[in-house]
Chain A
Amino acid sequence: MSFAKLTDIIKQAEERNVSFWEVVMLDDMKERNVSREESFNEMLVMLRAMRTADEEYDPTLRSASGLAGGDGEKLHQYRMKENRLIGDYLVEVMEKAIKMGESNACMKRIVAAPTAGSCGVIPAVLLTYEEQKEVSEEKIAQALYVAAGIGEVIAATACIAGAGGGCQAEIGSASAMAAGALTYLEGGNNEEIVHAAALSLKNMLGLTCDPVAGLVEVPCIKRNVSGAVNAVVSSQMAIAGIRSAIEPDEVIDSMRRIGKQIPECLRETSREGLAITPSAIAVTKRLQGQK
């Protein structure tokens, strides 16, 4: 992967006179020694797998711990109500995000993006857009390249694993990636794309990883919802002309430094935070009894 900075992608896009997503694809072609078709088809495979995972959500499933399942159906019922407060797009983003997180916890097939714990954010934002705005599959796949480019820079500079950098690295990265991708779909330029990512990531800095009983369920599943909604509002701010006061690459660099300072007890070890609350301990004890 040759991008250490978001500005590298933008610079290459300008030099080669191609769009943001294409720079990311060209880099993949070089990196893996594949043709344009091969790279693009692989992205379509990922997109279709996301769609299948969304369609195959099963409201009756519960995770092995019994903690997860069924909330996607609650949001679905809420979406069907008249006079709900929020609009059609956002409410469906919420529904899809929680469904994917639950499917993952229930051992269904998902697409890690960038991780399994954060697998709901990007599909929620993009699949809802695809359905409601009736854009082509190709266009959504292009948006996935935008997301991947942002993810690559975060992975190269900071980190995309909760054990390494806390949850800012998982839900935070996914949210920044989705914000950039949505901004591209909405016709945003390259600057707007990276500022949307920055605006979104800033809201996630410092987020800890303290999952109950070490499982990818609490707080992970519901955090997919807030990560997805955060992506949407950040993208809207960028489209409206708002810019991050901190340069996007500097935000990612802050994320790296913050990740290093998050103590190990809050990096997927379940030794602090939510994981040691009385409610969490009760769950952990119950599960140990089952061993």
Chain B
Amino acid sequence: MNLFDIIGPIMVGPSSSHTAGAVKIGYVSRKLMGEPIAEATINLYGSFLATGRGHGTRFAIVAGLLGMKPDDKRIPESFKYAEEAGMKLNFGEADLAEAHPNSAQLILKGVSGRKLEVIGESIGGSLINIAQIDGIKANFSGDYPTLIVHNVDQPGHVAEVTSMLAHKAINIATMQLYRSSRGGEAAMVIECDKEVPLESVKWLAHLEGITKVIYYSLDEG
């Protein structure tokens, strides 16, 4: 938290968690998709579902999916902009076990047909946590450039990724490791202090044993 979390942020009301946080969940998901979204199924859970209408939570998530940020004045009219952009919208209730009370499950299809599923939580103030991507634990804030690497659980992959970062002089802010079972599917989630060059992200994706690389950049566009 810094000074401008006390006086600030500038945001469209009414609620930091149910509006501003919801925009951020949509925004980060749009960035993770890496292309405009053609179809979105938005399933709300807990307090998002119960009080979302009065807080404009649905408008907020859709605004984020269109690439708007929490201070964008167009947020209340995001459905209109979605229609103009040809984004198809479906809404439902999420059936999540043990989720945070302010959660949304986004099932997305990009214009190229690419699919992505994100579970995002609004955890207080306008802070968020991306809890899952494509059914695998992620847990990152969207406040740092973030590298998500899915790989086969075998020795050496963490070293490959971290030595690439060291080589590019990128400091790691936080790092988490998950795996489904020994030798099964594993995931690394690394929040970095600096942007990771796109060639390096691509290079990782081609390595033996690495199944998928997702990169969340703070750069605009």
B-contacting residues of A (Cβ < 8 Å)?
Answer: 1, 24, 27-28, 31-32, 39, 42-43, 45-46, 49, 63-65, 103-117, 119, 122, 144, 147-148, 151-152, 155, 160-161, 163-164, 213-217, 287, 290-291
Contact = CB atoms under 8 A, between A and B. Distances in A.
A172 to B, nearest CB: 14
A264 to B, nearest CB: 12
Interface in B1-47: 1-16, 19-20, 47
B1 A112 contact: no
A34 B9 CA distance: 18
Contact of B56 (A39, A107, A117): A107
B50 interface: yes
Given A1-B1, A63-B14, A112-B16, A213 B54 contact: yes
Contact of B76 (A107, A144, A287): A107
A116 B3 contact: no
B201 to A, nearest CB: 26
A163 B14 contact: no
Contacts of A42: 4
B55 interface: yes
A82 B47 CA distance: 47
Contact of A104 (B3, B6, B13): B13
A148 B3 contact: yes
9 contacts: A32-B3, A108-B12, A111-B11, A112-B9, A116-B13, A148-B3, A155-B1, A217-B14, A217-B54
Contacts of B47: 214
Contacts, number: 122
Interface of B: 1-16, 19-20, 47, 50-51, 53-56, 59, 71, 73, 75-76, 124-126
Given A107-B75, A161-B124, A113 B3 contact: no
Contacts of A110: 10-13
Contact of B14 (A107, A113, A147, A290): A107
B7 A105 contact: no
A105 B14 contact: yes
Contacts of A104: 13-14
Contacts of A148: 3, 6-7
Contacts of A214: 47, 50-51, 54
Contacts of B2: 1, 28, 31-32
Given A28-B2, A113-B6, A216-B13, A64 B19 contact: no
